[in-house]
Amino acid sequence: MGKQSNIKTVNGVQYRVVTDRGAQVGDYLMYDESSRSYIEEGKPYEIVRVDSWDDPQIIDEEGDEFDTVWATSYELLEKIGTVPNELITHEGVIYRNVARDVKEGDKFIVPTITNQDYTAGKVYEITEFDSDGDPRFIDDVNDDYYVSSGNYTVLEPVSIDEELAAAQARVAELEAMKMKASRLKVGEYAKVVNADMTYASVGQIVKVICDDGSGTPYRAKDLDGELVGWFREEMLVRATDEEVAEAQRQVARENIKPGVYVKL
């Protein structure tokens, strides 16, 4: 019943699955399965370049340009926009306003455009579906009318408990993303806040030289290049540029040899 949507929603963003043309810069592609550690499954990657062989190039999780000729089992997507997903109350019932095509069992639609005889943002009760699968309703002048696919949203009944659970899950997802984004990377400088079982001291500036992903992932060396041990994530915090510069100046002062003239 109705027309096939060919629309996909990922993290609140709506995409059209592209099957009628080749990849273009600004499109996205997504892998349902990935055998590569630097490509996440189910994540849309923006195409930054299309090479002379028409192969899309993306930026992977390690910040490198990835040639998709080495992994062609992706879905090509065209970004449409953010999906309307607000909660509204109609006739005492709470609904979620969702951008999709109607299906059997739907009761209300909300046009997203204004026509001569109906109004954008107003709720209309579905009376039937026409032969194309479009919803028909009684318009503002009491006539039977329809609105076509892509020009309306659908009201889905929801419970507050379900919405709360979904919101909490989204918060947890965002917190995990924030934690991943703030994770120290190899080559960055950190300040030691817990020196247990290491050769470092609290407050010392060290450089991360290894991250093996274990429970104690970080191996570090001091600014003289000496290894100072392995650290759990909570034992280090990212050092500021000012802290690194001051620590480097301190090391330089300590390494001045007698009889050597220096410019202070």
Instruction: Specify the long-range contacts of residues 49-54, CB closer than 8 Å, at least 24 apart.
Output: 49/25, 50/22, 50/23, 50/24, 50/25, 54/22, 54/23
User: Does the residue 66 lie in any domain?
Assistant: yes
pLDDT over 70 (residue 4):
no
- Looking at the DSSP bridge assignments, the partners of residue 108 are 125
In this structure, are 224 and 195 located in the same domain? yes
Average pLDDT, the chain: 88
| Domain end call among 82, 105, 137 | 82
What is the rounded distance in angstroms from the CA atom of residue 244 to the CA atom of residue 223?
9
Task: Kindly report the CATH number assigned to the domain that includes residue 245.
Answer: 2.30.30
In this structure, are 25 and 74 located in the same domain? yes
User: Does the residue 180 lie in any domain?
Assistant: no
User: Does the residue 177 lie in any domain?
Assistant: no
Instruction: Give me the torsion for CA of 191, 194, 200, 206, rounded to 10°.
Output: -20
pLDDT tens digit sequence for 59-79: 999 989 999 998 889 999 988
Q: How confident is the model at residue 7 (pLDDT cuts 50, 70, 90)?
A: confident
- Cβ proximity of 83 and 97 under 8 Å: no
In this structure, are 39 and 93 located in the same domain? no
- Cβ proximity of 64 and 38 under 8 Å: yes
User: Does the residue 103 lie in any domain?
Assistant: yes
What is the extent of the structural domain holding 96?
A: 87-157
Instruction: Specify the long-range contacts of residues 87-92, CB closer than 8 Å, at least 24 apart.
Output: 87/158, 87/163, 88/123, 88/155, 90/123, 90/155
pLDDT tens digit sequence for 221-256: 999 999 999 999 999 999 999 999 999 999 988 877
Q: Are strands 56-59 and 65-67 parallel, antiparallel or unpaired?
A: antiparallel
| Domain end call among 35, 50, 82 | 82
Q: How confident is the model at residue 208 (pLDDT cuts 50, 70, 90)?
A: very high
For residues 80-101, give the mean pLDDT: 79
pLDDT over 60 (residue 218):
yes
pLDDT over 70 (residue 5):
no
CB atoms within 10 A of CB 9: 15
Kindly report which listed range (40-54, 133-147, 165-179) carries the lowest average pLDDT score. Answer: 165-179
pLDDT at position 34, please? 86
Kindly report which listed range (44-48, 110-114, 144-148) carries the lowest average pLDDT score. Answer: 110-114
User: Does the residue 183 lie in any domain?
Assistant: no
pLDDT over 50 (residue 3):
no
pLDDT at position 84, please? 54
What is the rounded distance in angstroms from the CA atom of residue 70 to the CA atom of residue 93?
50
- Domain total for the chain? 3
User: Does the residue 179 lie in any domain?
Assistant: no
Side-chain-side CA neighbours of residue 136 (13 Å): 11
User: Does the residue 178 lie in any domain?
Assistant: no
In this structure, are 153 and 193 located in the same domain? no
pLDDT at position 2, please? 40
How many percent of the chain have pLDDT more than 90? 55
